[in-house]
Structure 1
Amino acid sequence: MDRSRTFTWEDPTVSAGAVGKGTGLDFLRDIVAGRLPAPPISETLGFTLEEVEHGRAVFALAPGEEHYNPIGSVHGGVYATLLDSAAGCAVQSVLPQGMAYTSLDLTLKFLRPITVDTGKVRAVGTVLNSGRRTALAQAELLDSADRLLAHATSSCLLFPLPAAS
């Protein structure tokens, strides 16, 4: 039987235009509070940024069939997207005004399968080290009993945004 899913998103240039205008933490808090729109990928996959503080970001997802791979469990790309988002936003949360980042790499280990029966999962990202040019973050994907489902590390390049003219 065919299934379908419909979703909507807001203009991504609104949030993109706000990057660097305040601190990274302020930017992420504005997304959590709904003052800035969430990125379209969060609507596409159905995950949300639930918590953010200096050096830490938490995303949540209730897995559904739409996340499945052909063998009946959540696709590894969904794990990777959640973990990359959590690690990256943890780095974003420590950036001062006028700075940005981009991911250099993502190393991930899958430990347990996820299905609809797993229930809500959380990706918790934390900054391990932040320097002038790079940052190192980790992220853990956890089920509701805090069992580790996957783990990732990410290196990020930090750079100043061009001054607005």
Structure 2
Amino acid sequence: MERSRTFGWEDPGILNAAMGQDSGLAVMRDWLAGRLPDPPVAAALGMTLEEVEQGRVVFALVPGEEHYNPIGSVHGGIYATLLDSAAGCAVLSILPKGTRYTSLDLNVKFLRPVTVDTGKVRAVGTVLKSGRRTAFAQVELVDSADRLLAHATSSCMLFPA
């Protein structure tokens, strides 16, 4: 039986414009509170922002069949996107107004398979170190029992908006 999924998103320019108006933490808090829309990638994957504090963010995802690869588990690219989002947004949460970031690298270690039976997973991103031009973050992907499913580290380049 064929399955389908429909989703929508708001103008990504709204969130992008907010980045130049306030600190990264303020933007992230407005996003969490629903005063700013989710970016389209969040709608496409079904991931949600659950927690924000300076230097730490949590994204969540309930795995579905739409995330599956040919071997019957969640595709590694879904993990990587969730991990990259948590690392980048953890960095964003420490940035002052007028500063942006972009990912330079993402090193991912897949430790356990994720399926629909896994239930909700959380990507907990934290900043390890930040300088004038570069910031480093790590992310742990965990299940509801806090079992480690994947781990990632990321370097981000910082630059003026």
TM-score range, shorter chain: over 0.9
**Cα deviations by residue, 1:51-106 (Å, 9 ceiling, x for unpaired):** 00000010000000000000000000000000000000000000011100000000
Counterpart residue identity of residue 101, structure 1: Y
Runs of 4 or more, structure 1, over 2 Å off, are none
TM-score (norm 1): 0.97
Equivalent position SS for 2:41: helix
In the comparison of the two structures, how many residue pairs are matched? Answer: 161
Asked if residue 99 in structure 1 is aligned to residue 99 in structure 2, the reply is: yes
Which residue number corresponds to residue 137 of structure 1? 137
Q: CA RMSD in A?
A: 0.5
Aligned pairs for 1:1-165 (under 5 A) are 1-161=1-161
Q: CA deviation at 1:160?
A: 1.0
Identity percentage over the alignment? 75
| Structure 2 gap segments, 5+ residues each | none
Q: CA deviation at 1:20?
A: 2.7
| Structure 1 gap segments, 5+ residues each | none
TM-score (norm 2): 0.99
